[in-house]
Chains A and B, each alone.
Chain A
Amino acid sequence: MRTIAISGKGGTGKTTLAALIIRWLSENRSRSILAVDADSNVNLNDILGVKIRDTVGAIREEMKKSVDNLPAGMTKQQFLEYKIQTSLVETRNFDLIAMGRPEGPGCYCYANNLLRDILKTLGENYDYVVIDNEAGMEHLSRRTTQAIDYLLSVSDASPRGIQTAGRISKTLEELDTRVRRRFLILNRAPENLTETVMGAIQQEELHLLAVIPEDAALLKMDRDGMPVYNISANSPAYQAVNEFMNKLDL
């Protein structure tokens, strides 16, 4: 089982990238894929073109709120597990689960403890787990996600964007989360990168994996609110994804 996490500031195009990675895996490796939307701004499902019924966050809140009214005879662990399994969206090419809203006030030790185990077991059933993470990567720090094979940080082709990506990468080191390899991906970038950009990359000690060009077709789909997942295989963005995915050991 391989885990790929994609993170980046909002607007860098990471969710789109996550969707294209899922598409590539389902066409080139296996359809046993678990897509995890770990961004509290739930929108991976839109880009993938599926509807979600429930999120892990909502389930967790429901449990806390109705602690006295849960289905009787069931422990909270069983309840959470049941709800999470039923919330999973299943398609031919992938299954999707959305983490949803972050924690509110109050105590989450217990709920997160349960979730960690449930999600870990769930992930082990798939050949690939692709996680769309927000910049803060709360789920990594709360340990609700497990060890990661590839962390792909997405940024635009600007020094400030790259610095942010670098900072996030360093935070991860401090958290002692187990990440096997870290890479930087520059999205919507021009063909020639400036020296300042290259310098920033070096300074942040990041490994540049790929440079993805601006893609008109993709832009149009986005503007029209269409699921980018269905983009043509000839599109420059998808071609770029194909190129770097082949480089990874998957």
Chain B
Amino acid sequence: MSKLIASRAIRGAHKLVARAENELQQAIKEKGTQEKVEFPNTGYYLPISYGILGLQIDTLGGLTELLEEAKILLPQIPEDSLWLPYLGHTLDAGMATLFADEIIEAIKYTSNPLPYLTAPNPSESQLWLGAANDVIMRERGIEFVDGTAPGFAACVGYCPTNEIAVKIARELQEKNLYVFMSAETEGKSMAQQLREEGIQMGWETRLVPFGNDVTATIHALGFATRVALSFGGAQPGDFQRVLRYNKNRVFAFVLALGPVDDEKHAQAAGAINYGFPTIADTDIDQILPTGICTYEHVVSPVSHDKIVAKAIEVRGLKISITKVPIPVPFGPAFQGERVRKDDMYVELAGQPNPGFEFLAIKSLDEVEDGKIEVVGPEIDDLDEGVQIPLAIWVDVAGRQMQPDFEPILERQIHDFINCANGVFHMGQRDINWARISKEAKAKGFKFRHFGSIIHAKLHGEFGKIVDKVQVKIYTREKEILELIDLARKVYHERDARLADMTDESVDTFYSCTLCQSFAPNHVCVITPERSGLCGAYNWLDGKAAYQINPTGPNQPIKKGIPIDERKGQWEDINTFVYNSSHKTLERFNAYSMIEDPMTSCGCFECISCILPSTNGIMVVYRDYAGMTPSGMKFSTLAGTVGGGVQTPGFIGHSKHYIGSKKFISHEGGAMRIVWMNRNLKEELEPILREIGKQNGIEDLCDRIADDTLATTEEEVLEFITKKNHPALSMDPLF
């Protein structure tokens, strides 16, 4: 953190505390210590001193105690020669500043005439309103709690032109933020600029001019403090709670407009205590590390056209959109809706035309939130019944975004669009397809509304990770064909990443009890490296099925504490399996076939069983009708593994699973296979060869026996001994 900025804040604090001392001495001399001191019609004494310190000050004399507190907090002004002031000192200086502010403002209220108008709105003659009274506090404070007003912008200083001042004010109002204005810079202030433009101000418009003195900034923070006391359940003096409540619930920030002198630096430091960052339009030093504020503390310089957006981003303010701004009804009830050919106005992509849907994560600077563009014809430019291509390109940015979220968010496009009444959407990626009904078009539905839907829903459902969304909708083939290859490249990359997903990388597996009508005590546990036995279900399918039908046959199971990671046993999974197998199965090992292997229903594609004398296993595919070296045919073997029965040394599984790294990994995996029926061996040859290679054996397949080479266990042993099968030199199976 820069010494310069800290020094300025500390110097500013010193100046203000000195001023407070002066003015207090003066006031006491003139009016005596018993002179009453209060903000009119408020029951909070003086909010900062009451909320932060628990002091109940109502006389000039009482203010001296507050002054003492300020002095205690004031750190030394940093010397050129030595140390770097820590953030802590700066924060203390900030707090001292707030105390000084309060003293100075309280004294103002003892003057006659009052420098402020005690009314909710400015009048012709008096612009400045001073502290809010309790009625306003109750009415408006609650808005910070229920989210009607997410927070406020404390604007100090003035803008280069009146026009800019109005623009910023309007932008803030659109976000439902209060605009608290105070402090002149070079004799000018934003509130005056708005007045010059004839802009109506007052609590009703949420544009509130507190005062032209820099110390009037205290009324913004005083308000925040009172909100914490009234609605946050904070006790007076419990400053931690007051400050933390504001950091987490009141989304306020300081906009430092124009040159920022030492005193304003000090105010900013005070605000930082509350978790309120400062965004400046001039180049003052920045404080970028996070800590007290959720994100950065001081950011500058920011141009006026971006300053509101930047402030919102730095404060971590989430714009919540509850209603989707489209002219047709929207909701999950419309998801299964199909638009018949007869009823459609336009058909997009699908089989006749190219198309794709793509979501990319970009940096916060690269995305303009809410920007929606249609490149190509809009629906009004087209005749009824026309078929055109469609590409939807979504750029998102967010502080908490991670690359793995891209496909998850992209997959949502389908569900979101389907919720619109009269709009049908199928597929994803480069096999997308949509239809808009004549009725929807008549109501005013346009292609750009795809963007409105995606923007609103991504913010609404993924607000935690999504901060900004912009959407481009392409309806012209030229641009679509130019971009489709880029999109496909990324799809490929993502799939490659997925293929490498391991059991260790997730904390949740999925169960499948679809087969329980045949095998009541069986439950499959599907992991990224182990698909369902039938071969149909993989981990993603289980996850998707659960999301679609949370009370269906697929449930998430958290791994919890591992009991033995090599064998693949987890405590919470055992508990789950125990309960869903109707208390028949107490535990199982996902990666072992010798000890507590996983059960099956009856539909497994293959059965593996040990051939003890070979130190290996055999695998037989269900279509093979002949005798196996185990002395049992497939149908007999099935009795040992089907129906939810757990027999050590036997498991049923899918063909696909043999290629998984986790296939009986506890026992050494596919390297143990000494016999397979020929068709299966041929089919899996490439996979087995690869596994062999990874273990330093080029010709693994040639060392595995099959039904044309051996039919009994003795013959298998003879064969593999001749071929020097690796299983012979592996650890004993049991």
Chain A interfacial positions (CB closer than 8 Å to B): 31-32, 64, 67-68, 71-78, 81-82, 85-86, 90-92, 95, 105-107, 109-111, 113, 117, 121-122, 124-125
Contact = CB atoms under 8 A, between A and B. Distances in A.
Across chains A and B, which 9 residue pairs bring their CB atoms closest together, nearest first? A107-B603, A121-B336, A107-B534, A90-B341, A75-B544, A125-B338, A110-B536, A72-B495, A109-B514
Most buried by A among B491, B494, B536: B536
Interface stretch (B259-267, B285-293, B421-429, B667-675): B421-429
Given A67-B536, A77-B541, A107-B534, A125 B336 contact: yes
A85 B534 contact: no
Contacts of A121: 336
Contacts of B534: 106-107, 109-110
Interface of B: 336-338, 340-342, 350-351, 407, 411, 414, 426-429, 431, 433, 491-492, 494-495, 498, 512, 514-515, 517-518, 532, 534-537, 540-541, 544-545, 548-549, 553, 601, 603, 605, 622-623, 656
Given A77-B544, A81-B426, A109-B515, A67 B535 contact: yes
A75 B541 contact: yes
Most buried by B among A31, A106, A110, A121: A110
A71 B431 contact: yes
A136 to B, nearest CB: 20
A110 B537 CA distance: 8
B147 to A, nearest CB: 35
Contacts of A95: 340-341
A190 to B, nearest CB: 41
B351 A31 contact: no
B222 to A, nearest CB: 54
A124 B333 CA distance: 12
B540 A75 contact: yes
A85 B426 contact: yes
B431 A110 contact: no
A110 B433 CA distance: 25
B544 A82 contact: no
A67 B535 CA distance: 8
A49 B495 CA distance: 43
A202 B338 CA distance: 43
Given A92-B342, A109-B515, A125-B337, A73 B428 contact: yes
Contacts of B603: 106-107, 109
Contact of B514 (A31, A32, A76, A113): A113
A224 B660 CA distance: 57
A133 B408 CA distance: 40
A113 B491 contact: no
A95 B344 CA distance: 14
A82 B341 contact: no
Nearest to A92: B342
Contacts of A92: 342
8 contacts: A72-B498, A73-B407, A77-B545, A77-B548, A81-B426, A86-B351, A107-B601, A124-B336
Given A64-B535, A95-B340, A110-B536, 9 more contacts: A74-B428, A75-B545, A76-B536, A76-B537, A92-B342, A106-B534, A107-B535, A124-B336, A125-B338
A125 B548 CA distance: 19
A180 to B, nearest CB: 23
Contacts of B351: 86
Contact of B656 (A68, A81, A125): A68
Nearest to A81: B426
Contacts of B548: 77
Contacts of B623: 105
Contacts of A117: 549
Contacts of B428: 73-74, 78
B464 to A, nearest CB: 23
A24 to B, nearest CB: 18
A125 B333 CA distance: 12
Given A106-B603, A110-B514, A86 B656 contact: no
Nearest to B344: A90
Nearest to B351: A86
A113 B427 CA distance: 20
A87 B191 CA distance: 65
Most buried by B among A91, A95, A109: A109
B412 to A, nearest CB: 12
Nearest to A33: B340
Given A73-B495, A82-B426, A82-B431, A90 B340 contact: yes
Nearest to B432: A82
Given A109-B534, A110-B534, A113-B514, A73 B426 contact: no
A95 B411 CA distance: 28
Contact of A72 (B340, B491, B536, B553): B491
A65 to B, nearest CB: 10
Contacts of A86: 350-351, 426, 433
Nearest to A90: B341
Given A107-B536, A111-B536, A113-B553, A74 B336 contact: no
A77 B544 CA distance: 8
A71 B427 CA distance: 10
A121 B335 CA distance: 9
Contacts of A106: 534, 603, 605, 622
B173 to A, nearest CB: 42
Contact of A73 (B340, B342, B494, B553): B494
A29 to B, nearest CB: 15
Nearest to B335: A121
A63 to B, nearest CB: 8
A20 B342 CA distance: 21
B57 to A, nearest CB: 65
A81 B545 CA distance: 13
B349 to A, nearest CB: 12
Contact of B427 (A31, A77, A82): A82
A124 B336 CA distance: 8
